[in-house]
Structure 1
């Protein structure tokens, strides 16, 4: 998989800017991504009734991500290059007990080498090695009631490949630990009850821990893909999430419906907080400063923080399949979703970069191998952007898609597609994006393409 797309430049500076620094010209950042993945999967169907299947999987993923300055012509030079190579293996053993218990237990190992290098070093090269044991069980209590349970315990070692890191704008290097070790666990349970035929309700609970990622620990420089200067925090603890969810499902030939509401509390929730000052990379040497007259030369500084945060929200969707006696099968959909997040300590305000309330509808159809639809989305303004972040206005969006599925044989097919995105050419500032003040979402665009599988 290969992708290449651009990040627009910052807000235009003063017309009398004559610094002559090559980085002060109106420039654009391009992002070049590529990914290669190889999987080896094996399944052994045994003769044991208690252990009928054993599955093993080995994967290798090589991910490369480069931030380019438009003025750099040498494709071997980049502002920042992210490399992420991962070896992963997984062993699953399915076990059954009569008709009332079904589950899987197994091991998962992952070895990941991460590096962010280039003209600006973003994080030190780091190795992350983890080994986890997991167990999932489904208990069929009655024909209408079942209980799903899961547990996982994992040990992770994060080892930077250098003993110090140089923070741009600070003369003295910062020492790094030899390694960081985390032992995390997760527990989950889901109770599913069939209220009526085609109608079921469920109650989910989860207590999960997550070890900090490399960027959250060791970030130390400009990240041009998000137009920010990020600073990690070495002493972060593992996040711990308590999640509660109640939902309802209904499915028939004419109507399908799904709605759920949830509440979660996260201890040591890790997030990027706007620090209220800038990193100016135009001077030599670069420096931090409280204000910036020319935003083309400056990046807002964000630091990783950890505080207890609470969230609640909902998701709902209903789809009707009317039978109007036409050769075309129509589809009518209404949907909505919302999430509200705030920090337990009110001094920290609202959780930044959350989506606003959204709702909309879709009119679609299916006829033979043809599928298509027109989708309308309305998002309200986000007036709880978080401390020092900016509010975003609401927007209306209209999209159209059309596909033709040509099945050449049982295992060979070609999918032709056409898409019209943001047909009203609305200005959309995405409240979840670091780039919302510099670059809105793409305006009207058209895509025509095909994909083949065999």
Structure 2
């Protein structure tokens, strides 16, 4: 019966000050003290682990003199078991508490990088989440599949929402809290397809989906269903890859938020490693968005103004000395 335990204390102090007309957060001081304990143990074919953490966060606004203190307690437990040499199942349950950040509490000004006027809320309390995750993994004979499912229930989930107001020519975004629910899945798989001379051919795919809403409606900037699939051709020194990056349309939007269309981007990559015994050098070249498609990322504050980059080429050299 093997086991492992780790305990610790974490201290963090942050003095924040932004200077100039673009400063949207006043000078603040954040002090954070955390104490944690982690345990894991092997019991036959079972692997179990658990953790607890207590954290005190103090946020002081140097302009208004507001001094806020938050005590947060988090706990989690999980485990997994090998049903066979190829199949493994597991899960985790947790309850976590998070103190609001400086920006969520004290923002008050234009944030030009995201083209918005941000307003914090100093009355925000702790964000509390209770959730469960489950996973099953299968790997054998040159192929693998992983399925992850999750559900999280939030009390006072903190997020930023666009209002109908305007300040300094910018739309006003207000931090607020509401109870919310998140659920979704992640499915990933891959396999070795064949060998063509010196080339090994492999394929892989990843699908992700999340649904999130509060008691009063949809949450803003939640990503839609996304699918990434690709094919690799590899030798000892060369790797070629082509992939398709697809995002579905997102029509489940909050008030004052526009939906986004679906898009599919084709990307290609090529890596070359120097011969064995030479300097450890890798040359890489890639082309993203090969067909110059218009794509707008729903999670971006700027999606209505700025799409993702069009066709672009990147080149890099990596070396280990």
* 2:7 maps to 1:119: no
Separation in structure 1 between the aligned mates of residue 320 and residue 276 of structure 2, nearest angstrom: 10
* Alignment RMSD (CA, Å): 1.7
What SS does the corresponding residue of 1:116 show, helix, strand or coil?
coil
* 2:52 maps to 1:145: no
For 1:221, the equivalent position in structure 2 comes to 109
* 8 Å Cα contact 2:198-2:235 kept in structure 1: yes
Separation in structure 2 between the aligned mates of residue 104 and residue 414 of structure 1, nearest angstrom: 38
* 2:208 maps to 1:337: yes
Separation in structure 2 between the aligned mates of residue 161 and residue 414 of structure 1, nearest angstrom: 50
For 2:287, the equivalent position in structure 1 comes to 420
User: Aligned ranges for residues 49-128 of structure 1 at < 5 Å?
Assistant: 99-128=1-30
Separation in structure 2 between the aligned mates of residue 100 and residue 201 of structure 1, nearest angstrom: 20
Change (3 A) 1:196 1:446: same
For 2:96, the equivalent position in structure 1 comes to 208
* 8 Å Cα contact 1:385-1:431 kept in structure 2: no
Structure 1 gaps, min length 5: 1-98, 164-175, 282-297
* 2:144 maps to 1:262: no
For 2:176, the equivalent position in structure 1 comes to 305
Structure of higher CA gyration radius: 1
Give a deviation string over 1:255-300, Cα, whole Å, max 9, x none: 0111111100111111001111212x3xxxxxxxxxxxxxxxx211
Q: 1:244 pairs with 132, 152, 157, which one?
A: 132
Change (3 A) 1:123 1:427: same
For 1:271, the equivalent position in structure 2 comes to 159
Return the structure number with greater strand share: 2
Give a deviation string over 1:53-104, Cα, whole Å, max 9, x none: xxxxxxxxxxxxxxxxxxxxxxxxxxxxxxxxxxxxxxxxxxxxxx422121
TM-score by length of 2: 0.95
Number of positions where the alignment pairs a residue of Structure 1 with one of Structure 2: 321
For 1:383, the equivalent position in structure 2 comes to 251
What SS does the corresponding residue of 2:80 show, helix, strand or coil?
strand
For 2:236, the equivalent position in structure 1 comes to 368
Separation in structure 1 between the aligned mates of residue 242 and residue 203 of structure 2, nearest angstrom: 10
Separation in structure 1 between the aligned mates of residue 105 and residue 274 of structure 2, nearest angstrom: 48
Separation in structure 1 between the aligned mates of residue 320 and residue 34 of structure 2, nearest angstrom: 34
Separation in structure 2 between the aligned mates of residue 413 and residue 105 of structure 1, nearest angstrom: 39
* 8 Å Cα contact 2:183-2:211 kept in structure 1: yes
Structure 2 gaps, min length 5: none
For 1:185, the equivalent position in structure 2 comes to 73
Separation in structure 1 between the aligned mates of residue 30 and residue 39 of structure 2, nearest angstrom: 29
Separation in structure 1 between the aligned mates of residue 68 and residue 74 of structure 2, nearest angstrom: 20
Separation in structure 1 between the aligned mates of residue 152 and residue 33 of structure 2, nearest angstrom: 27
For 2:317, the equivalent position in structure 1 comes to 450
What SS does the corresponding residue of 2:218 show, helix, strand or coil?
coil
* 8 Å Cα contact 1:138-1:149 kept in structure 2: yes
Give a deviation string over 1:12-71, Cα, whole Å, max 9, x none: xxxxxxxxxxxxxxxxxxxxxxxxxxxxxxxxxxxxxxxxxxxxxxxxxxxxxxxxxxxx
Separation in structure 2 between the aligned mates of residue 304 and residue 267 of structure 1, nearest angstrom: 15
* 2:61 maps to 1:160: yes
For 1:441, the equivalent position in structure 2 comes to 308
Separation in structure 1 between the aligned mates of residue 218 and residue 71 of structure 2, nearest angstrom: 29
What SS does the corresponding residue of 1:216 show, helix, strand or coil?
helix
* 2:305 maps to 1:404: no
TM-score by length of 1: 0.68
What SS does the corresponding residue of 2:153 show, helix, strand or coil?
strand
Change (3 A) 1:257 1:220: same
Separation in structure 2 between the aligned mates of residue 108 and residue 449 of structure 1, nearest angstrom: 37
Separation in structure 2 between the aligned mates of residue 443 and residue 203 of structure 1, nearest angstrom: 40
Deviation at 1:371, TM superposition (A): 2.1
